[in-house]
Structure 1
Amino acid sequence: MKITITRDNKEVEYNIKQENTTLLGALDYIKENIDSSLAYRSGCKSGICGSCSVLVNDKESLACKCKVNDNDNIKPLKYVKLIKDLVVDLNHVEELLKKNKTYVEELSNKIITKKDESLIDVQSNCILCQSCYSSCPVYEVNKEFQGPYILTRVLRYVNDKKELNINNKLDVIQTNGIWDCTLCGNCTIVCPQFIDPKTDIMNLRMKSIQNGYADPTIQSNDFLNEFNNFDTGFNPNSF
């Protein structure tokens, strides 16, 4: 079985003698038997830590959960700084989490029920694998975009009844946030935890409007409609 790995912007082909193995197993085989200099990340090896996320045939996947096939093409994640081979720089993760206040700031005295916990359960399952960022067309052109998993994490705390002041959370996502998303759904497709960032972002838009924030796209759309319907009085047949 042959697979190709992009290293230093060059495609390198490897022959794997193992069959019916995960991509992580194939990478381990290469490192142990063919090329010890191959760099990649792995941790739990069970789809929990998210550290082994890579591109498999241009689709984001966890190497430990993905079955490798003949002629598969393996690349590092997109839109992040490359350190070496399949290893990318993830230092921005902590900065984004702090910047967007994805934690409880003001603790309320409300009693939390099991039903309340269920509202934030799915969003709490994010493993920060960066797959959603790599698949995001907005992040490709705007590095200031908050990104799918950050917005999902914000919703987790907006829905958390332990948080007293949700407006602080909503404030930080109005610019380069929920209104910049194209709702393409790529992030939902690639999420290994079956989180739906697209729907989460739509929910944040609704909650923003309910809390007094304006949709900046409405005014521009109204302007375009007025412009398109404006009668200039120009008649090309009069000349």
Structure 2
Amino acid sequence: MKISIKREDSHEIYDVPLQDVTLLEILNEIKNKIDATLAYSSGCRSSVCGSCAVRVNGKEVLACSYKAEDGDVVEPLLNVPIERDLVVNMDKAYGFNSKAKAYQSTIVQNIKLSDEDEKRNALQSDCILCSACYSACPVYAVNKEFLGPFSLTRVWRYVSDKREENPKDKIDNIQMDGVWDCTLCNACTLVCPQGISSKADIEKLRARSVMFGYSDPSFGSFDGGFGFDGSPSF
């Protein structure tokens, strides 16, 4: 099986004598028996830690769960600095969680959660921070400060928790470089190994923003072809 791996500015092709195995097994084989200099990240080998996320043939996957095929082209994640080969620096990406206040800040005491309450944001709690969605997001091409899919999903996780005492504070905080910057392209959802739809969560955050008096700022510069008095503007 031949696998092409991006290393610096070129691709190196490895011929590996394995079949019907995961990409992580391929990478381990290369590291242990062919080229000890190859750098990549891995951890749990069970699709839980998210550390082995890479791009294969232009799509984000977890190396420990992706079944490798002959001719695969393996590259590091996008939108993050590359440390070496397939190893990337996630500091800025993870830093958006803090910037977005993607955590429970104030808790209303003595509130009991029903089964329905627990199910409302259970899926969002399954995020493993693999950053596949961060890599797939096209918004970073024009806005490097965009809070991003996984951070906004985590904001919804807490905004939708009825124990959160001040959800408006979180909504206020995601108006700039946040919910309105998303193009709703759904690329994040398609690559999430946990099946989380950040697009759907961002849509819900937009709806909650409207409830708090916000609206899409781009609407302010578009009058639909009519003047403010209702007359045509052409």
Q: TM-score, with normalisation over the residues of structure 1?
A: 0.93
Amino acid in structure 2 at the alignment position of 1:58: G
User: 1:77 aligned to 2:77?
Assistant: yes
In structure 1, what is the equivalent of residue 13 of structure 2?
13
Amino acid in structure 1 at the alignment position of 2:233: F
* Deviation by residue 1:60-81 (Cα, 9 ceiling, x = unmatched): 0000000000010000001110
In structure 2, what is the equivalent of residue 95 of structure 1?
95
In structure 2, what is the equivalent of residue 140 of structure 1?
141
Give, in whole Å, the separation in 2 of the partners of 1:83 and 1:45: 21
In structure 1, what is the equivalent of residue 221 of structure 2?
220
In structure 2, what is the equivalent of residue 66 of structure 1?
66
Structure 1, gaps ≥5 residues long = 232-239
> Does the aligned pair in 1 maintain the 2:80–2:93 contact within 8 Å?
no
Amino acid in structure 1 at the alignment position of 2:128: I
In structure 2, what is the equivalent of residue 54 of structure 1?
54
User: 1:229 aligned to 2:223?
Assistant: no
Q: CA deviation at 1:8?
A: 1.1
Give, in whole Å, the separation in 2 of the partners of 1:99 and 1:219: 26
Sequence identity percentage: 47
Aligned CA-pair RMSD? 1.3
In structure 2, what is the equivalent of residue 237 of structure 1?
none
Q: Indicate the larger mover: 103-112 or 48-57.
A: 103-112
The equivalences for 1:183-202 within 5 A come to 183-202=184-203
Amino acid in structure 1 at the alignment position of 2:112: I
In structure 1, what is the equivalent of residue 204 of structure 2?
203
Amino acid in structure 1 at the alignment position of 2:28: D
Q: Indicate the larger mover: 93-102 or 189-198.
A: 93-102
Amino acid in structure 1 at the alignment position of 2:173: V
Give, in whole Å, the separation in 1 of the partners of 2:134 and 2:108: 32
* Deviation by residue 1:146-199 (Cα, 9 ceiling, x = unmatched): 001111000000001111000111011101111011111100100000000111
Structure 2, gaps ≥5 residues long = none
Larger radius of gyration between Structure 1 and Structure 2: 1
Q: CA deviation at 1:15?
A: 0.4
Give, in whole Å, the separation in 2 of the partners of 1:220 and 1:199: 26
> Does the aligned pair in 1 maintain the 2:102–2:152 contact within 8 Å?
no
Q: CA deviation at 1:47?
A: 0.5
In structure 2, what is the equivalent of residue 177 of structure 1?
178
Work out the number of aligned pairs and report it: 230
Give, in whole Å, the separation in 1 of the partners of 2:115 and 2:185: 32
* Deviation by residue 1:196-218 (Cα, 9 ceiling, x = unmatched): 01111111000100122222122
Amino acid in structure 2 at the alignment position of 1:191: C
Give, in whole Å, the separation in 2 of the partners of 1:11 and 1:106: 49
SS of residue in 1 equivalent to 2:145: coil
Q: TM-score, with normalisation over the residues of structure 2?
A: 0.95
Give, in whole Å, the separation in 2 of the partners of 1:71 and 1:34: 18
